[in-house]
Amino acid sequence: MSKGGIQGDYIKDVAQIRKIIKESENFVFFTGAGISRESGIPTFRDKDGLWKKYDPSKLASRTAFISNPKLVWDFFYSRQRLVCQAECNDAHSAIERFEKTIQERSCWVITQNIDRLHQRAGSQNVIELHGNIFGVLCIECGKREQYNHDNFFNNFSEEKIPICTSCNNILKPDVVLFEEQLPPDEWRQAVQLSSECDVMFIIGSSLNVSPANTLPYHALKNQAVLIEINPNVTEMTSIMDFSLRESAPNILSKIFDLV
159-167: which pairs have CB atoms within 8 A and are 24 or more residues apart? 161/69, 161/70, 161/73, 162/73, 162/136, 164/138, 164/140, 166/138, 166/141, 167/138, 167/140, 167/141, 167/143
Q: For the chain, how are helix, strand and coil distributed in percent, rounded to 5?
A: 40, 20, 40
Residue 158 identity: E
Given the residues 118, 130, 149, 218, select the one marked as catalytic: 130
Does 164 belong to an annotated binding site? yes
Secondary structure (3-state) at 127:
strand
Does 84 belong to an annotated binding site? no
Residue 130 catalytic?
yes
Binding site, annotated residues for Zn(2+): 138, 141, 164, 167
Which residues are known catalytic residues?
A: 130
